[in-house]
Structure 1
Amino acid sequence: MEFRVENMTCSGCVRGVTRAIQGLDPAAEVKTDLDNRKVEVETAAPRAAVIGALAEAGFTAV
Protein backbone atom coordinates (compact mmCIF):
# COMPACT_ATOMS: atom_id res chain seq x y z
CA MET A 1 0.00 0.00 0.00
CA GLU A 2 1.12 3.55 -0.63
CA PHE A 3 0.57 6.72 1.35
CA ARG A 4 1.32 10.39 0.92
CA VAL A 5 2.54 11.94 4.17
CA GLU A 6 2.58 15.72 3.69
CA ASN A 7 4.19 16.47 7.04
CA MET A 8 7.15 14.09 6.48
CA THR A 9 9.73 16.79 5.86
CA CYS A 10 13.07 15.50 7.17
CA SER A 11 15.09 12.39 7.92
CA GLY A 12 13.83 12.49 11.51
CA CYS A 13 10.29 12.27 10.16
CA VAL A 14 11.29 9.30 8.01
CA ARG A 15 12.55 7.52 11.14
CA GLY A 16 9.34 8.41 13.00
CA VAL A 17 7.13 7.12 10.18
CA THR A 18 9.14 3.90 9.94
CA ARG A 19 9.06 3.38 13.73
CA ALA A 20 5.30 3.96 13.87
CA ILE A 21 4.60 1.41 11.15
CA GLN A 22 7.04 -1.18 12.48
CA GLY A 23 5.61 -0.65 15.97
CA LEU A 24 2.32 -1.88 14.54
CA ASP A 25 3.90 -4.69 12.49
CA PRO A 26 7.58 -5.42 13.20
CA ALA A 27 7.81 -7.44 9.96
CA ALA A 28 6.54 -4.55 7.81
CA GLU A 29 8.75 -3.38 4.96
CA VAL A 30 8.77 0.39 4.71
CA LYS A 31 10.18 2.35 1.77
CA THR A 32 10.15 6.12 1.99
CA ASP A 33 10.58 8.82 -0.65
CA LEU A 34 11.21 12.01 1.30
CA ASP A 35 11.39 14.26 -1.77
CA ASN A 36 7.88 13.25 -2.86
CA ARG A 37 6.64 12.58 0.70
CA LYS A 38 5.52 9.07 -0.20
CA VAL A 39 5.65 5.91 1.88
CA GLU A 40 5.29 2.42 0.47
CA VAL A 41 4.44 -0.30 2.99
CA GLU A 42 4.28 -4.06 2.72
CA THR A 43 2.40 -5.34 5.75
CA ALA A 44 -0.31 -7.75 6.83
CA ALA A 45 -1.89 -4.96 8.89
CA PRO A 46 -5.02 -3.32 7.50
CA ARG A 47 -4.68 0.08 5.83
CA ALA A 48 -6.78 1.76 8.52
CA ALA A 49 -4.47 0.43 11.25
CA VAL A 50 -1.40 1.85 9.47
CA ILE A 51 -3.10 5.24 9.09
CA GLY A 52 -4.02 5.11 12.79
CA ALA A 53 -0.46 4.27 13.86
CA LEU A 54 0.88 7.15 11.77
CA ALA A 55 -1.74 9.53 13.21
CA GLU A 56 -0.74 8.54 16.77
CA ALA A 57 2.87 9.41 15.84
CA GLY A 58 1.74 12.82 14.53
CA PHE A 59 1.72 12.10 10.80
CA THR A 60 -1.21 12.59 8.43
CA ALA A 61 -1.35 9.88 5.77
CA VAL A 62 -3.64 9.79 2.76
Structure 2
Amino acid sequence: MKFEIEAMHCGGCARGVTKAIQSVDPAASVNVDLDKRHVTVDSSADPAAITAKLDAAGFPPRQLD
Protein backbone atom coordinates (compact mmCIF):
# COMPACT_ATOMS: atom_id res chain seq x y z
CA MET A 1 0.00 0.00 0.00
CA LYS A 2 1.14 3.53 -0.68
CA PHE A 3 0.29 6.76 1.12
CA GLU A 4 0.89 10.44 0.56
CA ILE A 5 1.53 12.29 3.82
CA GLU A 6 1.63 16.07 3.38
CA ALA A 7 2.60 16.64 7.04
CA MET A 8 5.86 14.68 6.64
CA HIS A 9 8.68 17.19 6.15
CA CYS A 10 11.87 15.82 7.74
CA GLY A 11 13.70 12.75 8.99
CA GLY A 12 12.00 13.07 12.38
CA CYS A 13 8.62 12.98 10.68
CA ALA A 14 9.70 9.94 8.67
CA ARG A 15 10.73 8.16 11.89
CA GLY A 16 7.38 9.06 13.48
CA VAL A 17 5.49 7.71 10.48
CA THR A 18 7.55 4.50 10.49
CA LYS A 19 7.03 4.06 14.25
CA ALA A 20 3.26 4.56 13.91
CA ILE A 21 3.01 2.01 11.09
CA GLN A 22 5.18 -0.54 12.91
CA SER A 23 3.08 -0.15 16.06
CA VAL A 24 0.24 -1.69 14.02
CA ASP A 25 2.46 -4.30 12.34
CA PRO A 26 5.97 -4.68 13.81
CA ALA A 27 7.02 -6.74 10.76
CA ALA A 28 5.94 -4.06 8.25
CA SER A 29 8.48 -2.90 5.71
CA VAL A 30 8.29 0.91 5.40
CA ASN A 31 9.95 2.88 2.60
CA VAL A 32 9.80 6.69 2.92
CA ASP A 33 10.32 9.15 0.03
CA LEU A 34 10.58 12.54 1.76
CA ASP A 35 10.85 14.48 -1.51
CA LYS A 36 7.47 13.22 -2.73
CA ARG A 37 6.09 12.79 0.81
CA HIS A 38 5.16 9.21 -0.08
CA VAL A 39 5.34 6.11 2.10
CA THR A 40 5.23 2.59 0.68
CA VAL A 41 4.24 -0.09 3.18
CA ASP A 42 4.56 -3.85 2.77
CA SER A 43 2.28 -5.24 5.46
CA SER A 44 -0.51 -7.73 6.01
CA ALA A 45 -2.24 -5.26 8.36
CA ASP A 46 -5.56 -3.69 7.47
CA PRO A 47 -4.93 -0.38 5.62
CA ALA A 48 -7.70 1.23 7.70
CA ALA A 49 -5.81 0.37 10.91
CA ILE A 50 -2.63 1.94 9.54
CA THR A 51 -4.53 5.02 8.36
CA ALA A 52 -6.15 5.44 11.78
CA LYS A 53 -2.80 5.13 13.57
CA LEU A 54 -1.15 7.67 11.25
CA ASP A 55 -4.07 10.07 11.82
CA ALA A 56 -3.71 9.67 15.59
CA ALA A 57 0.05 10.33 15.33
CA GLY A 58 -0.56 13.63 13.51
CA PHE A 59 0.30 12.40 10.02
CA PRO A 60 -3.02 12.19 8.15
CA PRO A 61 -2.43 10.04 5.06
CA ARG A 62 -4.08 9.85 1.68
CA GLN A 63 -3.99 6.30 0.32
CA LEU A 64 -2.66 6.20 -3.23
CA ASP A 65 -3.40 2.58 -4.11
- Quick one: distance in 2 between partners of 1:25 and 1:5? 19
Q: Which runs of 4 or more aligned residues in structure 1 lie more than 3 Å from their structure 2 counterparts after TM superposition?
A: none
- Quick one: distance in 1 between partners of 2:50 and 2:30? 11
The equivalent residue for 2:43 is 43
The equivalent residue for 1:18 is 18
- Quick one: distance in 2 between partners of 1:59 and 1:5? 6
- Quick one: distance in 2 between partners of 1:60 and 1:33? 16
The equivalent residue for 2:31 is 31
RMSD over equivalenced CA pairs, Å:
0.4
- Structure 2, unpaired ranges of 5+: none
- Structure 1, unpaired ranges of 5+: none
Q: How many residues align?
A: 62
Give me the identity figure in percent: 52
User: TM-score, normalized by length of structure 2?
Assistant: 0.93
Shift of 1:15: 0.2
- Quick one: distance in 1 between partners of 2:56 and 2:43? 18
